[in-house]
Structure 1
């Protein structure tokens, strides 16, 4: 299930990022401000990818940086849109949750949203780390820049960046009074209002106030309840401040509060109740927005409806102190309070697809088919002290600091499985109803030194030490487990033991060093060559979605080494910029969340360090300004990845859990004996189509790693008069086919008869036409816009997104496929004053 509990969405980038779905607001550090130099040809962006200000083309790492102007030219509205333009980056909304993004960068990603998991692609807002994916989908307006950094970033950005980091830097309050107001409408009765204003109180103090409100009907029709689903409603307010406290001390701070109501529920391109009706997106669940589970769940979540609501408050503070002309100290503080409430039907009010019933009949169960109800509360505090500057007349550049992180999560959630009124007594069945409490406390010290032995050569060495402890506890909410006795069947901390009786630890500690080494050569003012080796890690956790205490097994941290070499070049007088990187990523203990349908039709969730992982590839990006009016841009990514099974792994681990190699052997033996992967209970090959073992007994393809990703686009400014410009813009992005489910389970319409004589109407062997599952075909997505811009500050924009209404499988859960959003259009008018 995907997180995006709050999506730092459309609130605070009006000089604040106003979250669309619940955004963390940001306060920009004065010393981290981006600078865009107008070269007259291709813009130069000054970034903080190494925690100090540098021109992007001089940073010896693979980085894709977008200025505010570039974001507008490419039609980037929210963080998810960025994934269309970054090679080897795949992004998607989490299943169910319209407020959460899952990113896969160079093959490393995570779609799990429960708080015992951490995403390997970190999100940062003005240097504040956002730990939960619930809060990482934000709309990008009034932003200074966005930096996408390939991982790992274990030295300067720290834990949970094995895949990389997405860093958003906000505009700080301006020195003069001014602002903007924007209003728009669009497809599915979308209405939007945004506004921001700079209020300089004095020469040394200024404020920025931003606000946002959005509402739409949703692009999914529920043909049973007549409700609209997958809406994106929300509002937010942000107050930013900057102050010059003395000649050497500055401060930036902000407070943002947002509310979001946004879902990404299961839907179909043709109406399941009337397959001939294919003029939109459809759902048939009986679960309503106004709902009562009839006492099946304990606590407030028993009244949650088919929605996902998130509230967030974020405070940021950054004190900058100039200790000398070349040495700066920053004290960076962040505090986040996030709540998320939802009840989502992941089976569309029916049973789950299987070989026996690949397109289950429409049942529209009122409590839903497979429902997760969630009432979560998440708080985090971060404190960092960073020292940066130059020594010995520029011979050495230094960044060093101390970092503290504290997080507390309370998640009250339950799972309901339904097979209808014809099912056995006790259905709908509550698989589990429990409350999790988990904490993380981490300390770190880091440092990076760049030495310039000669003017054109830089040698880099960096290291980070992390001391981290995580704790975990669970309480069963059922009355029978809270009557003074705790039975063996209760999901409670005192029952945390594996099937073999080994106790499941309730704490995990890690102390480790993550180094980085790099070198670069400035062959000329316009050409940089570089190579690096970087280490990073992602924290371990617990398989908290298990529905029995014995299933809440721990998984360890994943550790990664990345090796890069490449060049960055500005050519033809900066009319062409071309950057290329080759990389190898070697991961030990890859954390892999997996979900599969049990023979009884219910869903099992499983996460382990199934295997090691190796990925190698190339990335190329270009931008060009052949004329002053025309801008061209594009990117190309290639990757070749595989799972690597650890040599000499025992058949069973300490918790009696089977190794992947042993599971694969069992699967092949079961298939040879005539059993069927995903088959009926009597003849099921239970070791197949589970974890990373595919239904045919092979090791599955790693998820969301299309071999090729490509994007290209153009913007052209036509001067209609001295004050009026017409600016058409278009871009397309393509990715090759890939798998989006760890077990590579997809259902196809060629029937077959098993060795035991069972007739199945579908197969999982890729024979016939695709029905549902994890296979994602290659696809193109095209976007376009037309802007009328006036020099007096007025502009009108007409745009379409996914203009040709291309459908693509973005994710899968329990053999269902989740599609990308359909075509949308918007008209917006804006005035800058």
Structure 2
């Protein structure tokens, strides 16, 4: 054990040393921001390790922080854009819904979005856990700040934060203040949007804040056969908050938020069809017409498949979120009771293969109706003459509803369907404390016990004309003789109920030492927990066992520094984690039907992250950030299909999907008083290395089909698959220039550009075995425009 400990320590020390050299000897990698709206004297206030506000430089953990102003300056328009400027973090749109997000951090990944598969990066909106990613990728409306916490956060934030947590905080009402703004934007692709914010602080005890934004944009993808435009979108998002403070010690905060979004699409592009097959390639003419242009598509008319929705390709999401918080200051600390309710209704139709023939198409239709309720009672405070900071609490969470998908191929009239009706309960108890031995040395320790009770009723069937009456249940053993007896089959006859309970004790332990007021070093060891996942889209009975809970053990050491009168801030951390039962979602074609199989693997990851901010002169700040992530499989016992049969297979040689191993960003922010106006100039560049979107390897693709996991492709086709399913390394550049007028900068006109050099790379790519096609979507093209703002 001692030898192993020394090896781990040596590698962590090497990682930190490498990060320090990278930042000091090369163009700076970093990202941290100082914003006077957020903090005074360049102090950034974040959620501390006991859920109490703290200076980011005094918190012994790795955090990337964005104020509301930072988000606008960097061109962060949607929640999914946050990862672009966050080292060690990657977000891409989900394959089954573009408003849902697939998140990966520190070698851990949620590689699919279905209602039974939990994320490894938890997202919190105003302290409420957002369980499902559907409808998450919304506009940044009236945001106070976003904090990205790295590493297991299981003690304070609970299950499903085994890789980290994203905390989104919207602006609260301000007492005794009447203020607001009106903002309008016009940009490329006829983008137009309007935002209005109004704060009514009637007195020192009652305040109301409302925010609403509406946006619409024309499509930028063109169908080469019909001329139809795709990727147009229209969104409406509103929020109301009411704050009531009847006494100096009691505050009640109520809020409601509503989102309604529609997208014409998504429109995928076909890269290959029937690879390695008989020569049947219905997408060949389409690809020739598109000529490799990422903004040209060829979409099948859904009407070729009887029962398809009449509106064609579409994506519609509606969410409702309601919260009630009660905060009471007492002589022994602050008591907070946080309650939340969220409802999601979503539906879409996607052309998965992205080619226009009636004989080669593959459509999938999805619908979700999910609701969640959560409640947390917490106590935070200080004790032992302020030597001890603590947080204790209990949580309850309930989720119910359904997630459904149906699909059809080759212009057929019979749709295969999967539906999961879920009913989940979770409870947790936690306690965490930070004890200061003296002004320099502190110890942090925390525990959380979690219980997850999960229930699912799975329905798998074949539906003629995409109707409500199944022709046959799958597997056929669930027909229960009804059809043979001449009866009418119902979806309920296909029910396969299951319930599972998962329990876990998470912990964290760490020490930090302040070498001086400007230098903090820290080391910690944490255990994180991602709840087990039940199977939703499988057909055979012997694979319905759930994916086991994902358990993460991580060690991290780091240093946080600031000097030159806080004009320079440099932070670097190295980490090592081992994940037991890392969850994987794999699509396999069994008996002609594509199924999603949840599997478990063991992984190990080493990594380093660094950030730097330098105020080189009054008004000029340079920032940079970077990360290196190196994950490996230690064990992966999964499944492959051999002769139409689901077969166990050692998959430890396969690739990680959705993991970016190298990232960095650099930025500059300049503000100058011109006398009659205030000038603001911002430029930010973010680069990421290549990313694999398939677990396949060259050896597996070229192995004979009689071999477990073998694809049977020749070398040329195998390489084509790997090339097409690898997102190339690329960087995007966002810029913004503004002029603000008036006594308090009340009037502003700004020019903006996002991805101004039009760097294009694949965003989500699907290689579907069986049909052997590859369909992909691309990141958005260059966009630019003008924004006018009036503040009062």
> With structure 2 as the length reference, what TM-score do the two structures score?
0.84
Q: Distance in 2 between matches of 1:268 and 1:466?
A: 44
Is structure 2 residue 685 aligned with structure 1 residue 732? Answer: yes
Residue 747 (structure 1) shift: 13
CA distance in 1, matches of 2:45, 2:155: 23
From the superposition, tell whether residues 179 and 112 of structure 1 become closer, same or farther in structure 2 (CA, over 3 Å): same
CA distance in 2, matches of 1:605, 1:754: 20
User: Is the 8 Å Cα contact of residues 564 and 583 (structure 1) preserved in structure 2?
Assistant: yes
Say if 2:345 is the partner of 1:339: yes
- Contact kept in structure 2, 1:292 and 1:304, CA below 8 Å: no
Q: Which of 429, 433, 436 is the aligned partner of 1:445?
A: 429
Task: For 2:733 and 2:588, locate their aligned partners in 1 and report how far apart those are by CA, in whole Å.
Answer: 33
Q: Give the aligned partner of residue 608 of structure 1.
A: 599
8 Å Cα contact 1:35-1:46 kept in structure 2: no
SS at match of 1:347: coil
Structure 1 residues 370 and 626 mapped into 2: Cα distance closer, same or farther (>3 Å)? Answer: same
- State whether residues 663 and 688 of structure 2, in contact with CA within 8 Å, keep that contact through their aligned partners in structure 1: yes
Pair 1:778 & 2:732 matched: no
**Residues 747 and 485 from structure 1, CA distance in 2 versus in 1: closer, same or farther, beyond 3 angstroms?**
closer
Distance 1:592 1:264 in 2: 24
Conservation of the 8 A alpha-carbon contact between 2:240 and 2:256: yes
- Residue from 329, 333, 351 that aligns with 1:327: 333
Q: Paired residue for 1:317?
A: 324
**Alignment-derived partner of residue 832 in structure 1:** 791
Q: Are 2:362 and 2:408, in contact at CA under 8 Å, matched by a contact in 1?
A: yes
Match of 2:622 in 1: 632
Task: Within 5 Å, give how 1:250-329 maps onto structure 2.
Answer: 250-262=251-263, 263-267=265-269, 272-275=286-289, 277=291, 281-287=295-301, 294-295=306-307, 305-324=312-331, 327-329=333-335
Q: Quote how far apart the aligned CAs of 1:70 are.
A: 2.3
Conserved 8 A contact 2:108-2:163: yes
On the 8 A contact 1:315/1:334 being kept in 2, the answer is: yes
Task: Please tell me whether the aligned partners of residues 550 and 583 of structure 2 are also in contact (alpha carbons under 8 angstroms).
Answer: yes
Who is 1:120 aligned against?
120
Alignment match, 1:249: 250
| Structure-2 change in CA distance of 1:552 and 1:266 (3 Å) | farther
**Distance (Å, rounded) in 1 between the aligned partners of 2:650 and 2:755:** 32
Report if aligned partners of 1:473, 1:493 keep a CA contact under 8 Å in 2: no
Q: How far does the alpha carbon of each residue in 1:475-522 deviate from its partner, in whole angstroms, 9 at most, with x for none?
A: 356579998998673496989xxxxxxx98711101221111011111
Are the structure 2 counterparts of residues 479 and 615 from structure 1 closer, same or farther at C-alpha, using a change threshold of 3 Å?
closer
TM superposition shift of 1:193: 0.9
Kept in 2, the 8 Å contact 1:211–1:235? The answer is yes
Partner SS, residue 286 of structure 2: coil
For 1:594-673, list aligned pairs within 5 A: 594-596=586-588, 603-609=594-600, 611-645=601-635, 659-660=637-638
Give distance in 2, aligned partners of 1:254 and 1:819: 36
Structure 1 residues 53 and 234: alpha-carbon distance in aligned structure 2, compared to 1, 3 A threshold: same
Q: How far did 1:239 drift?
A: 1.0
**Secondary structure of 2:38 counterpart:** strand
Alpha-carbon distance in structure 2 between the residues aligned to 1:615 and 1:123: 22
Deviation of 1:232 (Å): 2.6
CA distance in 2: counterparts of 1:116 and 1:304, whole angstroms: 29
Corresponding position of 2:209: 208
Structure-2 separation of matches of 1:477 and 1:754: 28
Change (3 A) 1:58 1:715: same
Q: CA deviation at 1:186?
A: 1.2
Contact 1:272 1:282 in 2 (8 A): no
- Whether contact under 8 Å (1:220, 1:267) holds in the other structure is no
Tell whether the 8 Å contact from 1:160 to 1:538 is kept in structure 2 after alignment. Answer: yes
Ranked by relative contact order (alpha carbons within 8 Å, sequence separation 6 or more), the top structure is: 2
CA gap 1:194/1:287 in 2 versus in 1, 3 angstroms: farther
Instruction: Select 2:409's aligned residue among 391, 407, 417.
Output: 417
Map 1:562-573 to 2 at 5 A: 562-573=554-565
Query: SS where residue 81 of structure 1 aligns?
Result: helix
Aligned pair count reads 717
1:100 is displaced (CA, Å) by 1.5
Shift of 1:108: 1.3
Number of the residue aligned with 1:151: 151
* Pair 1:804 & 2:757 matched: yes
1:164: how far off? Answer: 0.8
Quick check: 1:521 aligned with 2:513? Answer: yes
Deviation at residue 618 of structure 1 after TM alignment:
0.6
Alignment partner of 2:83: what SS?
Answer: helix
Structure 1 position 304, deviation (Å)? 6.2
What is the CA-CA distance between 1:47 and the residue it aligns to? 2.9
Q: How does 1:427-506 map to 2 (within 5 A)?
A: 427-430=412-415, 432-476=416-460, 489-490=475-476, 506=498
Which SS does the other structure have where 1:605 is aligned?
A: strand
Structure 1 residues 482 and 548, CA, compared in 2 at 3 Å: closer, same or farther? farther
CA shift at 1:36, angstroms? 2.5
Structure 1 residue 403 corresponds to structure 2 residue 403? no
Q: Distance in 1 between matches of 2:463 and 2:510?
A: 58
* Residue of structure 1 in register with 2:663 after alignment: 709
| Residues 457-482 of structure 1 deviation map (CA, whole Å, 9 limit, x = unaligned) | 11111000111100111235657999
Over residues 311-343 of structure 1, what are the superposed CA-to-partner deviations in whole Å (9 max), with x where a residue is unaligned? Answer: 11100111000012x510000000011101111
Partner residue in 2 for 1:226: 227
What is the CA–CA distance in structure 1 between the aligned matches of 2:148 and 2:440, rounded to whole Å?
A: 26
Distance 1:223 1:479 in 2: 32
For the structure 1 residues 225 and 240, does the alpha-carbon distance in structure 2 shift closer, same or farther, using more than 3 Å as the test?
Answer: farther
Work out whether 1:80 is the aligned partner of 2:80: yes
8 A Cα contact 1:123 1:130, kept in partner: yes
Per the alignment, residue 37 of structure 1 pairs with: 39
Offset, 1:598: 6.7
- Work out the CA distance in 1 between the residues paired with 2:722 and 2:507: 47
Rate the CA distance shift 1:747–1:77 in 2: closer, same or farther, 3 A: farther
Instruction: Return the alpha-carbon distance in structure 2 between the equivalents of residues 203 and 82 of structure 1.
Output: 35
Compare 171-180 and 468-477 and name the one that shifted more.
468-477
Which has the higher mean CA deviation after the structures are superposed, 739-748 or 216-225? 739-748
- Answer whether contact 1:348 1:364 (CA < 8 A) is retained: no
Q: What SS does the corresponding residue of 1:555 show, helix, strand or coil?
A: coil
Q: 1:188 aligns to what SS in structure 2?
A: coil
Please name the residue that 2:138 is paired with: 138
1:509 aligns to 2:510 (yes or no): no
**In structure 1, distance between residues paired with 2:158 and 2:479:** 30
**Separation (CA, whole Å) in 1 of partners of 2:602 and 2:248:** 52
Question: How far 1:737 moved relative to its partner?
Answer: 1.9
What's the CA shift for 1:599? 9.3
Kindly provide the CA deviation profile for residues 204-232 of structure 1, in whole angstroms up to 9, marking residues without a partner as x: 10111111111111222123443322223
CA change 1:63–1:402 in 2 (3 A) is: same
Per-residue displacement from partner, 1:755-775 (whole Å, max 9, x unpaired)? 99x997873543xx6786321
Q: 1:311 to 1:746 in 2, by over 3 A?
A: farther
**Partner deviation per Cα, 1:240-278 (whole Å, 9 max, x = no partner):** 111102121001110111101134431369993544655
The CA RMSD over aligned residues, in Å, is: 3.4
Distance 1:596 1:790, change over 3 A: farther
CA spacing shift, 1:764–1:542, aligned 2, 3 Å = farther
Q: Would the aligned equivalents of 2:269 and 2:775 in 1 still touch at CA under 8 Å?
A: no
The structural deviation recorded for 1:412 is 3.3
The answer as to whether partners of 1:746 and 1:771 remain within 8 angstroms in 2 is no
Q: Does 1:546 align with 2:509?
A: no
Deviations 1:388-430 (A, max 9, x none): 0001111111100000000002123312122x5xxxxxx3542
CA pair 328-92 structure 1, distance change in 2 beyond 3 A: same
Shift of 1:97: 2.2
Mapped to 1, the partners of 2:323 and 2:140 lie a distance apart of 18
| CA shift digits 1:87-138 (9 cap, x unpaired) | 1111111125221121111121213222011111111011100000113223
Matches within 5 A, 1:747-786: 763-766=716-719, 773-786=724-737
Report the equivalent of 2:33.
none
